[in-house]
Amino acid sequence: MNNKKELWFDARNLNEEEVTVLVPLATNNGYSGVMVTLECKKIIDILPESVKVLIFLSTGEVEECKKLLSKIGKRDVIIFSKEKEILKAMGNIKKGLYLSVDDKESLDKTVEMTQYFKHVVIEFKSETNIPLELVLAFSQKNNCSICKKVTDGNDGWIASMVMEMGSHSVLLSSKNPEHVLSLKKQMDKLTQNKINIKELTIVELKHIGMGDRICIDTTSTLKEDEGLILGSTSSGGILVSSETHFLPYMELRPFRVNAGALHLYAWNAEDKTDYLSELKAGSEIMTVDSKGNTRFVSVGRIKMERRPLLLVKAKDENNIEVNVIIQDDWHVRIIGVKGNPMNCTELKPGDKVLGYTCESGRHVGIKIDENIIEK
CA–CA separation, 73 and 46 (whole Å): 15
Task: Establish if 139 belongs to a structural domain.
Answer: yes
Q: Do residues 125 and 170 both lie within one domain?
A: yes
Task: Establish if 339 belongs to a structural domain.
Answer: yes
Q: Which residues contact 117 (CB under 8 A, 6 or more apart)?
A: 87, 95, 96, 97, 144
Q: Do residues 266 and 183 both lie within one domain?
A: no
CA–CA separation, 329 and 370 (whole Å): 36
Domain that holds residue 226: 194-367
Boundary of a domain, candidates 153, 171, 191:
191
Q: What share of the chain is helix, strand, coil (3-state, %, to 5)?
A: 25, 40, 35
Other Cβ atoms less than 10 A from the Cβ of 104: the count is: 10
Q: Do residues 40 and 53 both lie within one domain?
A: yes
Q: Do residues 165 and 200 both lie within one domain?
A: no
The number of distinct structural domains making up the chain is 2
Q: Which residues contact 131 (CB under 8 A, 6 or more apart)?
A: 101, 107, 124
Task: Establish if 260 belongs to a structural domain.
Answer: yes
* Stretch (H or E) spanning 198: strand 198-218
Q: Do residues 356 and 224 both lie within one domain?
A: yes
Q: Do residues 181 and 225 both lie within one domain?
A: no
Counts of helices then strands in the chain (DSSP H, E) = 7, 23
Amino acid at 209: G
Q: Do residues 167 and 293 both lie within one domain?
A: no
Task: Establish if 373 belongs to a structural domain.
Answer: no
Q: Is 343 left (phi over 0), alpha (psi -120 to 50) or beta?
A: beta
Q: Do residues 150 and 221 both lie within one domain?
A: no
CA–CA separation, 157 and 161 (whole Å): 7
Amino acid at 287: T
* Stretch (H or E) spanning 71: helix 62-71
Task: Establish if 374 belongs to a structural domain.
Answer: no
Boundary of a domain, candidates 173, 191, 209:
191
CA 125, 43, 4, 95: dihedral to nearest 10 degrees? Answer: 70
What's the residue count for the chain?
Answer: 375
We report the CATH number of the domain holding residue 86 as 3.20.20.70
We report the CATH number of the domain holding residue 284 as 2.170.16
CA 270 vs CA 131, 208, 257, 267, 365: distances in Å: 34, 32, 21, 9, 11
Spacing of C-alpha 305 from chain mean position:
31
CA–CA separation, 89 and 279 (whole Å): 57
Of the chain, the end-to-end C-alpha distance in Å amounts to 38
Q: Do residues 78 and 207 both lie within one domain?
A: no
Q: Do residues 124 and 238 both lie within one domain?
A: no
Task: Establish if 375 belongs to a structural domain.
Answer: no
Task: Establish if 1 belongs to a structural domain.
Answer: no
Q: Do residues 90 and 171 both lie within one domain?
A: yes
| Tens place of pLDDT per residue across the chain (375 aa) | 445 678 999 999 999 999 999 999 999 998 999 999 999 999 999 999 999 999 999 999 999 999 999 988 789 999 999 999 999 999 999 999 999 898 889 888 888 888 889 899 988 887 777 778 778 877 777 778 888 888 886 766 666 654 455 678 889 999 999 999 988 887 777 665 789 999 999 999 999 999 999 999 999 999 999 999 999 998 999 999 999 998 887 788 999 999 999 999 999 987 789 999 999 999 999 999 999 999 889 999 999 999 999 999 999 999 999 999 999 999 999 999 999 999 999 999 999 999 999 877 654 545 555 556 677
Task: Give the closest residue to 252 by CA, choosing from 240, 260, 244.
Answer: 244
Task: Give the closest residue to 149 by CA, choosing from 165, 166, 131, 173.
Answer: 173
Boundary of a domain, candidates 191, 206, 221:
191
The per-residue pLDDT for range 46-69, each reduced to its tens digit, is 999 999 999 999 999 999 999 999
Average pLDDT value over all residues in the chain: 89
Q: 366-367 and 362-363: which strand pairing?
A: antiparallel
Phi/psi for 161 (5° steps) reads: -115, -5
Task: Establish if 285 belongs to a structural domain.
Answer: yes
Q: Do residues 186 and 204 both lie within one domain?
A: no
CA–CA separation, 208 and 252 (whole Å): 27
